[in-house]
Each structure stands twice: as C-alpha cells, then as structure tokens.
C-alpha cells in the first residue's frame, strides 16, 4: 500500500492516516523451552507477571486436546516492568504452530506480537476501518482481556503481527491486576463509539460487589539485596523502557515502505554492514523504535537461523546498571555477544543477552533523541564504542538520560 494524499483529523491535527503511533506498547516472543524462558524473563531480567492466560489450548468444551498435552507449559504469560499491565508476553511456540489456523503462520516468526500505542479509542477504530479500506491483512479487532486494551491487529509483509491499541490497564501501587470478573467487556470486533470510560467500568464492578483486590499479584523470588542507586532490589538493575524492535525481513524495500506508509514510521537513518543495507525508523523522539535488516545478515552474524527476530531492546536505568547486569546474568550462565556499531546506530554501549531459545535481548542504557529538525546526530560525532571495552565511567552526551522517563518507584 502507498501513502494517501487525503488528510485525517487526529485530535485536531491533520495527519496522513487516522492515527498516530506514540510509542511501542508491548512485544512478545514464542518459546519452546517455556520453563527456562519463564525463569529468564521473570527471575533474571525482572519482568513481573501480571496475569496468566490458562485457556490457550482449550477447545470449545473448555478441555485441552490430548494432542497438545505433550507440548509443555501451555499458558500465556503477561509481564510488566512499570505500570502498563503488560509490556512483554510469552507464549508456547509449539502450541501456536499447532493451533494457528489464520493462514498467516510462518514457523520462523517466533514473535507473537509487535504492539504500538496510539492516542485514543477513536484512532484505533478509525485506523482499523482505514486498514480494511486499504486491503491490509487485518486479523482481528476489538478488545482483549487481560489488559483491557482496544486494538486492531494486522500483518506486515513478513507476517509479523502488528497491533495498534489504546487504553492499556494500569497496575497501581499494590501491584494487582484487574479481578477476573472485570474481564466481561471483551469485544470481538471494532467497538461502536463512544464507549464508557474505565472509571465507569470500575464503578459498575464495585456496585456488583467485585473484590478489587482479588487480581493477580506476582511475588519476588530473589532476595532484595542489591543497592540500585539507593533502593534495595532483587537484581542490580531495573528495566526502565522496552524496545526497539529489530527484525530480519525478506524484502527490505517492501518492509520499509509498509512501516513508513501504512504505519506512519519515519526513517531516521540508513547504514551498511557486510554489504547489506540497514534501516532505522522511529515514531517518536527516540532515534529508532524499529530497525529492519535483510535476512541475509542473519547467517552472516551467526544468529539463530530459524527466527526473524534479530534482537529486542531492553533499556536499563544507567550505564552502571548495564555493567552490573552483565556480571549478574553471566553468573547464571547467560550467553552474551556484542554487535558492530553500524547495527546499533543511535545507541551507546549495548550488548546482546540470549534467552534459552536463542532469542537475543539487547541490553542498553542510552538512546539518541531526535530534535525538532528531525535529524539524527552525525555518525562522526557519536561516541566510539570499542567491542569488549567497558570503561568504569563515561562522559555524558548532550542527550544522556533524556527521552521518556521511568515513572514510579524502581521497585
């Protein structure tokens, strides 16, 4: 699909499409080694479980077919690091493969979703209609529980499931998600507008006697002994942001055009590595929230050969936290690799940590911010990062610690 000359009013501003992505909302992977993956993401990285979806393999009678019982843990896990109900999701890849009858399944797409937040419910509903008018591969629309977010799902050219959404449930000071009896307002299609507010939904739940303190609350398994900049935590670092998403794609030009023209991403920068073109795109002030690499790079880099996930970014609170995280995770046998700076454009020191299935998680502490003129910092003015060199201290850049701040206590 190509861009349209028609303009749409988005909150009183004329835009090229009836929605504007503000940020990455949540992301997820499908794993074969579910028990080990759960330990990696929850216990080692520190994502907290907010809800467990236990009906992932149920048939219409609410029973698990015998053919699926041998596939391991069949639950779906929703994780947070801040107050969004979920920023990360973990599913069983073997189960997904056995039960995905949409016609869009690719076995090397081990990403279960890439989800982008827009600014209103109207943007979701009008965006969904716009996708369908433009013959996009929309797989479903409506509202899901857990999480309560309104959404429209569609496929990119490589069958990565993208989502625009609004209205993610927020987890408060007591760490509990919504009670199960508030999961009654799911929608299997785009919602009619207007809808009643979250405030009204909570009032209705209270009126019918719902126990608002009965939702899921995760319990920490590690001792709270690490001094993280004045707060005792279970690990010597804290996740403060997630993303960027980094993908291997079959047709780079086609994928760049889709994310730019359909989803509204802005191309920030292009680099070259090993004779291959690499494209970095954004939807806010960060240098990139998405990077697209030709699939030929996967083998050249020696990464897992059966996934289109190049790596997924996880930002930690400081450079010192990043250094401490490497030591902490190595003590649990986590494998690491550093990538060439051409593939991490706009970022400072960064390193890949591999989960039990071989998915690469990119740990980093700083992301270059783009100003009003829309131009990234010239490559020659960036800090040179030498592989294997981790200085005790770094000089501050002009945009160190800038960008979206982490809200709330560290733990």
Using 50, 70 and 90 to split pLDDT, how confident is the model at 64?
Answer: confident
**Residue range 392-408: average pLDDT?**
93
User: Is residue 223 predicted with pLDDT exceeding 60?
Assistant: yes
- How confident is the model over 12-36, as pLDDT tens digits? 999 999 999 999 999 999 999 999 9
CATH T-level topology, domain 15-172: 2,3-Dihydroxybiphenyl 1,2-Dioxygenase; domain 1 (3.10.180)
- How confident is the model over 318-366, as pLDDT tens digits? 999 999 999 999 999 999 999 999 999 999 999 999 999 999 999 999 9
**Residue range 86-112: average pLDDT?**
91
Q: Looking at residue 55, what is its pLDDT?
A: 78
Q: What is the 3-state secondary structure (H, E, C) of the chain?
A: CCCCCCCEEECCEEECCCCCCCEEEEEEEEECCHHHHHHHHHHHCCCEEEEEECCCCCCCCCCCCHHHHHHCCCCEEEEECCCECCCEEEEEHHHHHHHCCCCCCCCCCCEEEEEEECCCHHHHHHHHHHHHHCCCCEEEEEECCCCCCEEEEEECCCCCEEEEEECCCECCCCCCCCCHHHCCCCECCCCCCCCCCHHHHHHHHHHCCCCCCCCCCCCCCCCCCEEECCEEECCCCCEEEEEEEEEEECCHHHHHHHHHHHCCCEEEEEEEECCEEEEEEECCCECCCEEEEECHHHHHHCCCCCCCEEEEEEEECCHHHHHHHHHHHHCCCCCEECCCHHHCCCECCEEEEECCCCCEEEEECCECECCCCCCCCCHHHCCCCCCCCCCCCCCCCCCCCCCCCCCCCCC
According to CATH, where is 3.10.180.10 located in the chain? 15-172, 231-381
Using 50, 70 and 90 to split pLDDT, how confident is the model at 397?
Answer: very high
Q: Looking at residue 100, what is its pLDDT?
A: 82
Q: Looking at residue 59, what is its pLDDT?
A: 63
Q: Looking at residue 278, what is its pLDDT?
A: 98
Using 50, 70 and 90 to split pLDDT, how confident is the model at 62?
Answer: low
Q: Looking at residue 65, what is its pLDDT?
A: 82
Q: Looking at residue 60, what is its pLDDT?
A: 56
User: Is residue 98 predicted with pLDDT exceeding 90?
Assistant: no
Which of the four CATH numbers 3.10.180.10, 3.40.50.1100, 3.30.1120.80, 2.50.20.10 does domain 231-381 have?
3.10.180.10
């Amino acid at each position: 699909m190509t861009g349209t000359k028609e303009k749409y009013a988005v909150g009183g501003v004329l835009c090229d499409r009836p929605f504007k992505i503000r940020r990455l909302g949540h992301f997820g992977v499908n794993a074969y080694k579910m028990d080990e993956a759960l330990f990696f993401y929850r216990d080692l990285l520190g994502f907290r479980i907010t809800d467990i979806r236990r009906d992932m393999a149920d048939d219409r009678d609410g029973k698990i077919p015998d053919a699926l019982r041998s596939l391991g843990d069949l639950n779906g896990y929703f994780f947070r690091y801040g107050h969004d109900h979920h920023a990360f999701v973990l599913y069983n890849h073997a189960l997904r493969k056995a039960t995905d009858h949409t016609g869009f399944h690719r076995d090397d797409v081990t990403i279960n979703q890439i989800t982008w937040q827009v600014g209103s419910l109207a943007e979701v509903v009008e965006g969904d209609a716009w996708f369908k008018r433009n013959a996009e591969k929309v797989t479903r629309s409506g509202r899901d529980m857990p999480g309560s977010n309104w959404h429209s799902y569609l496929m990119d050219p490589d069958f990565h499931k993208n989502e625009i959404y609004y209205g993610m449930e927020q987890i408060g000071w007591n760490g509990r998600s919504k009670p199960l009896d508030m999961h009654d307002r799911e929608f299997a299609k785009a919602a009619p507008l207007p809808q009643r507010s979250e405030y009204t939904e909570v009032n209705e739940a209270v009126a019918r006697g719902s126990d608002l303190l009965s939702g899921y609350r995760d319990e920490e398994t590690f001792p709270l002994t690490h001094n993280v900049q004045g707060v005792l935590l279970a690990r010597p670092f804290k996740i403060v942001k997630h993303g960027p998403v980094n993908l291997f794609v079959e047709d780079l030009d086609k994928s760049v055009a889709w994310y730019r023209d359909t989803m509204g991403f802005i191309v920030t920068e292009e680099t070259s590595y090993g004779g291959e073109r690499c494209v970095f795109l954004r939807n806010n002030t960060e240098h990139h929230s998405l990077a697209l690499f030709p699939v030929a790079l996967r083998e050249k880099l020696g990464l897992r050969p059966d996934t289109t996930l190049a790596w997924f970014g996880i930002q930690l609170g400081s450079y010192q936290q990043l250094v401490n995280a490497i030591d902490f995770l190595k003590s649990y046998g986590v494998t690491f690799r550093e990538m060439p700076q051409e593939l991490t454009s706009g970022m400072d020191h960064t390193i890949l940590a591999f989960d039990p299935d071989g998915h690469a998680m990119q740990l980093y502490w700083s992301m270059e911010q783009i100003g009003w003129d829309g131009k990234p910092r010239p490559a020659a003015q960036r800090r040179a990062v030498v592989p294997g060199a981790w200085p005790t201290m770094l000089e501050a850049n002009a945009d160190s610690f800038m960008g979206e701040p982490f809200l709330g206590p560290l733990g």
